[in-house]
């Protein structure tokens, strides 16, 4: 089948909820992707923040193959070694006490919301069900996750959504206080907003939110589905701030390429929230995906991924600053670690498409941000190549 036939067949059978680029990817190697025409792309998207080690990491692949030969799935009715190992490792690196594995980020959010509601129900009664979420946030496409996603355009066709959600402005404490009531059970926010446009939480804001939650006995849910697992230069971005959530969500790079997410809670939350019968999943945390989680965490340590991201972040940021200085329509850059955004006044969707045509995979975020989420193994040469390819595209706007 040629490329055009593959695209046509896909469009015939796939529900049209994505406007896909006319590229059929076939495989990856290191930090490069290849399409069926043999074209090569430098990857600064990592499958939306998933492929932490790039493509073809032998140790990671061997671990998955080994697990496939043993057992890929059981159910959550039994114990198995990959899950217990992954659970111990993710609790260790996050500082949280207990974990529930899910199949996606959105499901991790669902679990986090249910846990917060059950905690408040147990501690304060059925009235405490309100959740405060942030404008421009993104937490996923399922009904609960959509209910706390701060973009009206995503929510509007699906009303009525979950009851009791109030929105505040990210990094604006007074807007949070304005919607706080005795019924508030949780505040949910991304530590670094991703889809909304790469906005890191301000230090003072996150500390003030933590204090507010402590004073009012409200749970703080930090969504690190995009910014967690090493992307910020720490295993989790909240560790940079010295603030700990009561509930943490993670996914994307958690399994570095297999569909797995998780929500994690403190002992205190675990003690007073979900009990057998309250929550479950058939696939969640099966032997295959938890073998991937376990290996991901091992490799992050062995290959010193956090140190690598920390070491190269200044170079990446300097490179982005040079781009800002060179083009009047690139107004600023912001981000943390290997999660960076360039603010453009030219159409960002068009720039993303032109980059792809020039052999560079980048993403957009919000209305005007070019988003860079390279594999965490991206090196200096890769950053220089990104700059060259991106500048080739940006030059066309001068």
Ligand X SMILES: Cc1ncc(COP(=O)(O)O)c(C=O)c1O
Q: Which residues here bind ligand X, judged by CB under 6 A?
A: 48, 104-106, 109, 138-140, 190, 194-195, 223, 225-226, 251
Q: Which is nearer to ligand X, 128 or 286 (CB)?
A: 286
How many degrees, rounded to 5, is the angle at CA 250 between CA 335 and CA 229? 55
Beta carbon nearer to ligand X, 138 or 199? 138
Within 10 angstroms of residue 277's Cβ, the number of other Cβ atoms is 6
E strands of the chain, at which residues?
Answer: 25-29, 32-35, 40-43, 98-102, 130-134, 165-168, 184-190, 192-193, 199-200, 219-223, 247-250, 261-265, 330-336, 339-344, 360-361, 363-365, 369-372
Q: How far apart are CA 83 and CA 259, in angstroms?
A: 14
Cβ proximity of 209 and 221 under 8 Å: no
- Do residues 111 and 263 lie in contact, with contact meaning Cβ atoms separated by under 8 Å? yes
Angle CA 251–238–53, to nearest 5: 45
Q: Which residues lie below 8 Å from residue 339, measured CB to CB, with a gap of 6+?
A: 49, 192, 194, 198, 226, 227, 231, 232, 372, 373
Of 247 and 394, nearer to ligand X (C-beta) is: 247
State the minimum distance, in angstroms, from the CB of residue 194 to ligand X.
4
Q: Please identify, using beta-carbon distances, which residue of 104 and 313 lies nearer to ligand X.
A: 104
Q: Which residue is nearest to ligand X (CB)?
A: 105
Q: Residue 260: is it exposed, middle or buried by C-beta count within 10 angstroms (0-12/13-18/19+)?
A: buried
CB of 236 to ligand X, least distance (A): 13
DSSP state of 369: E
Shortest Å, Cβ 47 to ligand X? 11
Tell me how far, at minimum, the Cβ of 104 lies from ligand X, in Å.
4
Q: Tell me whether residue 133 or residue 225 sits nearer to ligand X (CB atom).
A: 225
Count the neighbouring beta carbons within 10 Å of the beta carbon of residue 117.
Answer: 23
CB 102, min distance to ligand X, A: 9
Taking the least distance from each CB to ligand X, the nearer of 226 and 340 is 226
Nearer to ligand X, 124 or 141 (CB): 141
Closest approach of ligand X to the CB of residue 223, in Å: 5
Residue 130's beta-bridge partner residues? 184
Closer to ligand X by CB, 42 or 222: give it. 222
Backbone angles phi, psi at 344, to 5 degrees: -115, 150
d(Cα 229, Cα 320) in Å, to the nearest integer? 23
**Smallest gap from residue 45 Cβ to ligand X (A):** 12
CB of 248 to ligand X, least distance (A): 12
């Amino acid at each position: 089948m040629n490329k055009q036939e593959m695209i046509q067949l896909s469009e015939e059978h796939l529900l049209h909820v994505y406007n896909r680029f006319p590229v059929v990817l076939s495989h990856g190697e290191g930090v490069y992707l290849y399409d069926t025409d043999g074209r090569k792309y430098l990857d600064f998207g990592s499958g939306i923040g998933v492929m932490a080690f790039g493509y073809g990491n032998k140790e990671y692949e061997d671990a998955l193959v080994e697990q496939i030969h043993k057992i890929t799935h059981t159910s959550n009715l039994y114990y198995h070694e990959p899950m217990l190992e992954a659970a111990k490792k993710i609790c260790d690196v996050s500082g949280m006490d207990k974990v529930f594995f899910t199949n996606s980020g959105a499901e991790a959010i669902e679990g986090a919301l249910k846990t917060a509601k059950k905690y408040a129900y147990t501690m304060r009664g059925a009235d405490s069900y309100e959740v405060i979420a942030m404008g421009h946030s993104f937490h996923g496409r399922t009904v609960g996750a959509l209910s706390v996603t701060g973009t009206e355009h995503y929510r509007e066709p699906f009303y009525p959504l979950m009851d009791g959600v109030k929105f505040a402005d990210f990094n604006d404490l007074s807007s949070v206080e304005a919607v706080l009531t005795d019924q508030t059970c949780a505040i949910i926010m991304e530590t670094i907003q991703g889809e909304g446009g790469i906005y890191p939480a301000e230090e003072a804001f996150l500390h003030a939110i933590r204090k507010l939650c402590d004073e009012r006995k409200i749970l703080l849910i930090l969504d690190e589905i995009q910014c967690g697992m090493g992307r910020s230069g720490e295993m989790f971005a909240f560790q940079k701030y010295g603030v700990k959530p009561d509930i943490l969500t993670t996914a994307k790079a958690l399994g570095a390429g297999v569909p797995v997410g998780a929500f994690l809670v403190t002992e205190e939350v675990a003690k007073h929230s979900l009990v057998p019968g309250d929550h479950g999943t058939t696939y969640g945390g099966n032997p295959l995906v938890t073998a991937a989680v376990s290996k991901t965490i091992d490799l992050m340590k062995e290959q010193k991924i956090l140190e690598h991201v920390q070491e190269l972040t200044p170079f990446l940021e300097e490179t982005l600053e040079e781009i800002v200085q060179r083009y009047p329509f690139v107004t600023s850059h912001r981000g943390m670690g290997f999660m960076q955004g360039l603010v453009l006044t030219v159409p960002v969707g068009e720039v993303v498409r032109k980059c792809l045509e020039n052999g560079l995979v980048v993403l957009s975020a919000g209305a005007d941000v070019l988003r860079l989420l390279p594999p965490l193994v991206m090196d200096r040469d890769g950053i220089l190549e990104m700059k060259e390819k991106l500048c080739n595209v940006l030059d066309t706007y001068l």
